[in-house]
Amino acid sequence: MADLNYVTKETLEQMRAELNKLKTTGRAEIARQIAEAREKGDLKENAEYDAAKEAQGHHEAKVAQLENAVATARVIDEKNLDLSKVSILCKVTVLNLTTKKSMEYQIVSEQEADLKAKKISVTSPIGKGLLGKKVGDEVEVSVPSGVIKLKIENISV
Protein backbone atom coordinates (compact mmCIF):
# COMPACT_ATOMS: atom_id res chain seq x y z
CA MET A 1 0.00 0.00 0.00
CA ALA A 2 1.22 3.50 -0.79
CA ASP A 3 2.28 6.01 1.84
CA LEU A 4 -0.42 7.98 3.58
CA ASN A 5 -1.31 11.28 1.98
CA TYR A 6 -2.14 13.98 4.55
CA VAL A 7 -4.52 16.65 3.25
CA THR A 8 -7.02 19.20 4.46
CA LYS A 9 -10.72 18.45 4.25
CA GLU A 10 -11.08 21.00 1.44
CA THR A 11 -8.33 19.38 -0.64
CA LEU A 12 -9.89 15.94 -0.23
CA GLU A 13 -13.23 17.32 -1.42
CA GLN A 14 -11.51 18.93 -4.45
CA MET A 15 -9.76 15.66 -5.29
CA ARG A 16 -13.04 13.73 -5.07
CA ALA A 17 -14.82 16.28 -7.27
CA GLU A 18 -12.05 16.13 -9.87
CA LEU A 19 -12.09 12.32 -9.81
CA ASN A 20 -15.86 12.28 -10.31
CA LYS A 21 -15.55 14.71 -13.25
CA LEU A 22 -12.80 12.62 -14.85
CA LYS A 23 -14.83 9.42 -14.49
CA THR A 24 -18.03 10.89 -15.91
CA THR A 25 -17.69 13.77 -18.37
CA GLY A 26 -14.00 13.11 -19.06
CA ARG A 27 -14.50 9.48 -20.04
CA ALA A 28 -17.61 10.34 -22.09
CA GLU A 29 -15.69 13.00 -24.04
CA ILE A 30 -12.83 10.61 -24.81
CA ALA A 31 -15.27 7.88 -25.90
CA ARG A 32 -16.92 10.41 -28.22
CA GLN A 33 -13.53 11.37 -29.73
CA ILE A 34 -12.63 7.71 -30.31
CA ALA A 35 -16.00 6.99 -31.93
CA GLU A 36 -15.66 10.06 -34.15
CA ALA A 37 -12.16 9.07 -35.23
CA ARG A 38 -13.24 5.47 -35.84
CA GLU A 39 -15.85 6.68 -38.34
CA LYS A 40 -13.12 8.25 -40.48
CA GLY A 41 -11.93 4.98 -41.92
CA ASP A 42 -8.92 2.67 -41.73
CA LEU A 43 -7.65 2.58 -38.15
CA LYS A 44 -4.09 1.66 -39.22
CA GLU A 45 -3.53 5.04 -40.85
CA ASN A 46 -5.83 7.15 -38.70
CA ALA A 47 -3.81 9.67 -36.69
CA GLU A 48 -6.91 11.04 -34.97
CA TYR A 49 -7.77 7.58 -33.67
CA ASP A 50 -4.23 7.06 -32.40
CA ALA A 51 -4.29 10.46 -30.68
CA ALA A 52 -7.67 9.73 -29.07
CA LYS A 53 -6.47 6.34 -27.80
CA GLU A 54 -3.32 7.96 -26.41
CA ALA A 55 -5.44 10.63 -24.69
CA GLN A 56 -7.54 7.83 -23.22
CA GLY A 57 -4.40 6.22 -21.77
CA HIS A 58 -3.29 9.49 -20.18
CA HIS A 59 -6.79 10.07 -18.86
CA GLU A 60 -7.00 6.62 -17.26
CA ALA A 61 -3.54 7.07 -15.71
CA LYS A 62 -4.72 10.34 -14.15
CA VAL A 63 -7.87 8.60 -12.85
CA ALA A 64 -5.76 5.82 -11.29
CA GLN A 65 -3.36 8.31 -9.70
CA LEU A 66 -6.23 10.35 -8.25
CA GLU A 67 -8.03 7.22 -7.00
CA ASN A 68 -4.84 6.21 -5.18
CA ALA A 69 -4.43 9.70 -3.70
CA VAL A 70 -8.03 9.68 -2.42
CA ALA A 71 -7.70 6.12 -1.06
CA THR A 72 -4.54 6.98 0.88
CA ALA A 73 -5.74 10.41 2.05
CA ARG A 74 -5.94 11.17 5.73
CA VAL A 75 -7.61 14.42 6.74
CA ILE A 76 -5.76 16.57 9.22
CA ASP A 77 -7.63 19.07 11.35
CA GLU A 78 -5.63 22.25 11.96
CA LYS A 79 -7.12 22.50 15.46
CA ASN A 80 -5.24 19.34 16.50
CA LEU A 81 -1.77 20.42 15.33
CA ASP A 82 1.16 20.28 17.73
CA LEU A 83 2.82 23.69 17.29
CA SER A 84 5.87 22.79 19.39
CA LYS A 85 7.49 21.36 16.24
CA VAL A 86 7.12 21.64 12.48
CA SER A 87 4.54 19.28 11.02
CA ILE A 88 2.29 19.15 7.99
CA LEU A 89 -0.13 22.11 7.69
CA CYS A 90 1.99 24.28 10.00
CA LYS A 91 3.10 27.71 8.84
CA VAL A 92 6.81 28.12 9.46
CA THR A 93 8.71 31.39 9.48
CA VAL A 94 12.36 30.80 8.66
CA LEU A 95 15.36 33.08 8.41
CA ASN A 96 17.81 32.35 5.62
CA LEU A 97 21.10 32.73 7.51
CA THR A 98 23.04 33.54 4.33
CA THR A 99 20.78 36.24 2.86
CA LYS A 100 19.25 37.32 6.20
CA LYS A 101 15.80 37.21 4.57
CA SER A 102 12.81 35.94 6.49
CA MET A 103 10.22 33.80 4.69
CA GLU A 104 7.01 32.08 5.72
CA TYR A 105 5.92 28.76 4.23
CA GLN A 106 3.09 26.39 4.92
CA ILE A 107 4.06 22.72 4.85
CA VAL A 108 1.43 20.84 2.79
CA SER A 109 0.90 17.59 0.88
CA GLU A 110 2.22 17.18 -2.67
CA GLN A 111 -1.27 17.79 -4.09
CA GLU A 112 -1.56 21.15 -2.33
CA ALA A 113 1.95 22.44 -3.02
CA ASP A 114 2.02 25.87 -4.69
CA LEU A 115 5.19 27.90 -4.34
CA LYS A 116 3.46 31.12 -5.45
CA ALA A 117 1.05 30.70 -2.53
CA LYS A 118 4.03 29.91 -0.25
CA LYS A 119 2.88 26.31 0.20
CA ILE A 120 5.73 23.80 0.00
CA SER A 121 5.43 20.06 -0.19
CA VAL A 122 6.26 17.95 2.84
CA THR A 123 8.33 15.82 0.43
CA SER A 124 10.39 18.75 -0.93
CA PRO A 125 13.97 19.18 0.32
CA ILE A 126 13.02 22.21 2.46
CA GLY A 127 9.83 20.52 3.72
CA LYS A 128 11.76 17.39 4.72
CA GLY A 129 14.48 19.48 6.35
CA LEU A 130 12.03 21.44 8.49
CA LEU A 131 9.82 18.55 9.64
CA GLY A 132 10.10 17.81 13.35
CA LYS A 133 12.26 20.86 14.10
CA LYS A 134 11.46 23.42 16.81
CA VAL A 135 11.63 27.21 17.09
CA GLY A 136 15.27 28.27 17.33
CA ASP A 137 16.59 25.18 15.50
CA GLU A 138 19.00 25.75 12.64
CA VAL A 139 18.86 23.39 9.68
CA GLU A 140 20.95 22.84 6.59
CA VAL A 141 18.93 21.83 3.56
CA SER A 142 20.43 20.46 0.36
CA VAL A 143 18.71 21.95 -2.67
CA PRO A 144 19.69 21.78 -6.36
CA SER A 145 21.55 25.10 -6.08
CA GLY A 146 23.56 24.02 -3.02
CA VAL A 147 22.99 24.08 0.73
CA ILE A 148 20.67 26.57 2.43
CA LYS A 149 21.05 27.35 6.13
CA LEU A 150 17.75 28.21 7.80
CA LYS A 151 16.76 29.15 11.33
CA ILE A 152 13.19 28.49 12.47
CA GLU A 153 11.74 31.68 13.92
CA ASN A 154 8.07 30.79 14.38
CA ILE A 155 5.57 27.93 13.98
CA SER A 156 1.86 28.73 13.66
CA VAL A 157 -1.39 27.52 12.10
Q: Which pLDDT score is estimated for 84?
A: 87
State the average pLDDT for the chain. 88
Q: Tell me the pLDDT tens digit for each residue of 3-39.
A: 777 787 888 899 999 999 999 999 999 999 888 888 8
Q: Tell me the pLDDT tens digit for each residue of 51-64.
A: 888 999 999 999 99
Residues of the chain with CATH 3.10.50.30: 78-156
Identify the top-confidence range among 42-51, 103-112, 128-137: 128-137
**How sure is the predictor about 92, in pLDDT bands with cuts at 50, 70 and 90?**
very high
Q: Which residues pair with 73 in a beta bridge?
A: 5
Q: Which pLDDT score is estimated for 62?
A: 93
Nearest to 108 by CA among 94, 93, 124, 129: 124
CATH dotted code for 78-156 = 3.10.50.30
CATH dotted code for 5-75 = 1.10.287.180
Return the ∠ at Cα 31 (arms to 27 and 36), rounded to 5°. 150
pTM: 0.67
Residues of the chain with CATH 1.10.287.180: 5-75
**How sure is the predictor about 1, in pLDDT bands with cuts at 50, 70 and 90?**
very low
Res 114 pLDDT > 70: yes
